[in-house]
Amino acid sequence: MTHRFWKLTCTLFIFVISSGSFANLKHALRDDQGRHMIPRGYVVNTNDHAGAVHFSADDYQRMVRMGANVQVIRLELGRLSTFRNAQFEPEYIERLRRLTRLGRESGMKTVFKMTVYGVENFSWQALWLNKNNEQKIYIEAWQHIWEAFKNDSSVIAYDLVNEPRKLSMEIAYDDLTNQYLIPFYEKIIDSALSFGSDKQFLIQTIFMNKGEAINKNQYAEIKQKIKRKNIIFAPHIYQNDLDYIKPTMERFERESDLLNAPILIGEWGFPTLVTTDNSVKEQLNYIEFYIRTAEIFDEMGIGAIKAWFLGNRSYQNFLPGGESTWAIFKDKQAVGTVERKYITDIIARPYPQLIAGDLKRFMFHFATRTLDVKLSTDNSKGASRIFIAADRHYPDGFSVLVGDELILTKRPDAFGFSVYKSNNNTEPSNFIWDESKQQLIILSWPTDKKDILLQVIPGLYKTPDPAAKN
C-alpha cells in the first residue's frame, strides 16, 4: 500500500540481537520514498491546567535540536465537540493549523491525539453504551480535524482515543475491549476514510483502574484483531521499575504481532517528582530507568513520543512521593526553557532518523557515547538523516566512520567535517553537517545495495598508537 508519508511494514523477520547476526528490524515505518524512519518527538499541549499554551518557531527549533522529527498535538474534545457543556470552537482549528505549520516548517511531521479534556464530567460508560449517540458526537469532533487537514501531507496520523477507560463499568477488561473498544475503533476508521486514505490510525488499549495493572503497567492487553488497515499500535509505558520494563515491551510485541501493526510508543517516561530536581540520588535513579527504557526502544527499533514539551506552570498530585509532572522543563511557565537534563539528555540521544535503505540494528551506548547503526543501503530512495546532538553529547567533537570507506571528523569549533580517510569510491561532500538541526545529512551512501556499519564516536579519530600497547 502507498501513502503520502508513511507506509507500514510489519515484516515476518524475527529481530535478533547477537554479536554476529543482524536481521531486519521488525517495526518498520516508511516514508513516501520508502526510507526507513524512526519517529521521535514530544507531546505538544494546546492547553495546560492554567490555560492556553502558545509556542513559537524558536520552540520548534528547540524540539528539532532535541531530536524531534514528529510532534503529537494533544487535542481537547471539549473544544471540538458538543458533549455536555462543550461547543465547537472554530478558532481552535486555527491554533492547530499554526502548530502544524510550525512543525512542517521546522521539518517535523504531525500526529493528532484526541483526549477528553474540556468536557465536564465526561462519561466513558456513556460513550461505550452509546444510548444517546455519544459515539456519533465523538466522531463528529474528529471530522473537524479530518476536514481541516485532509490535504496536509505533513499530518500523517491520528491517535483515535487517548487512554480509554472502564472506571465504574461492571465488565471484564477483555469484554470491554472486544465488545466496545475495537468496534468503536473500526467505526471511527470507517468514518475517517471518507476524508482520504493516506493517514494512519494509532490504536491504544484500555487504561486500567487505579490499583490494577499487568506487570506494573496500567494498560489492559488487546487479544483480538482490529479488522482495518493502516493501523499503528501506540501503547504507553510509564515504568520506573527496572525489572518490568522489558517484560512490558515483550508483551507489547505480542500484541503488535496479533494486530499485524508496527509499534510506536505513544507516550513514555515516568512522571518527575518535584523533589527530584533537588536530589542527586533521585536524579541518578531516573537516569537509570530512563536509559534502560531507551535502550530497549533502540534494540527493538521503535520510535517513541515523550510527554510533555512544557514547563511547570502546574503540577499533579497522584503519586505517593507528592507533586509531579511530565514536563521536561522545570521553570514555572508553560513554555519552559530550563531542561531537566537528567531526562532530556536521554530523550535527545543520537539515532538514525531517516535511512535510504533498511535499518538492521542501531544503538546509542550511553557509557561510551557511541552510536552504532547497521543498515543496508539503497541510494535510489534519496538522502538519509542521522540525529547526533553534538551540542549535548559531543562537546569534545565527534567522528563518523562509514564502513571501511570513509572517516570524517568534526571539531566543536569547526563549521563542517574534516576528512581523515576517504577511499576512491567515496564522495565526502555527500556528508553534510546541519548545525541548526544537529543532524548529519547523507546525500548518497559510498556503496549501494550493501550492508554497512556507520558509527559515531566521541572525539577526533586518530590511528591508535602502537606504542600504547607496551
Q: For residue 72, what is its C-alpha cell?
A: 503529537
Distance, in Å, from the CA atom of 289 to the CA atom of 284, rounded to the nearest integer, reads 9
- Paired sense of beta strands 70-76 and 27-30, if any: unpaired
Question: 3-state class of 142 per DSSP?
Answer: helix
Residue type, 462: K
What residue spans define the domains of the chain?
34-355, 357-469
Q: Do domains 34-355 and 357-469 have the same CATH topology?
A: no
Largest CA distance in the chain: 82
Q: Residue 189 class from Cβ within 10 Å (0-12 exposed, 13-18 middle, 19+ buried)? A: buried
Q: What is the distance between the alpha carbons of residues 280 and 198, in angstroms, rounded to a whole number?
A: 47
Q: What is the DSSP letter of 167?
A: T
Is 180 in a helix, a strand, or coil? Answer: helix
Q: What is the pLDDT along the chain (470 residues), one digit of tens a residue?
A: 334 445 554 432 222 222 233 456 888 899 989 999 999 999 999 998 889 999 999 999 999 999 999 999 999 999 999 998 899 999 999 999 999 999 999 999 999 999 999 999 999 999 999 999 999 999 999 999 999 999 999 999 999 999 999 999 999 999 999 999 999 999 999 999 999 999 999 999 999 999 999 999 999 999 999 999 999 999 999 999 999 999 999 999 999 999 999 999 999 999 999 999 999 999 999 999 999 999 999 999 999 999 999 999 888 898 999 999 999 999 999 999 999 999 999 999 999 999 999 999 999 999 999 999 999 999 999 999 999 999 999 999 999 999 999 999 999 999 999 999 999 889 999 999 999 999 999 999 999 999 999 999 999 998 776 665 54
**Cα separation, 432 vs 15, whole angstroms:** 31
Terminal Cα-to-Cα distance of the chain (whole angstroms): 59
Q: What does CATH list as the number for 357-469?
A: 2.60.40.1180
Q: What is the CA radius of gyration of the chain?
A: 23
Q: Residue 181: helix, strand or coil by DSSP?
A: helix
Q: Which CATH code, of 3.20.20.80, 3.40.50.620, 3.30.540.10, 3.10.590.10, is assigned to 34-355?
A: 3.20.20.80
Helices and strands (H and E) in the chain: how many: 10, 27
- Report the candidate in 375, 362, 351 with the shortest Cα–Cα distance to residue 438: 351
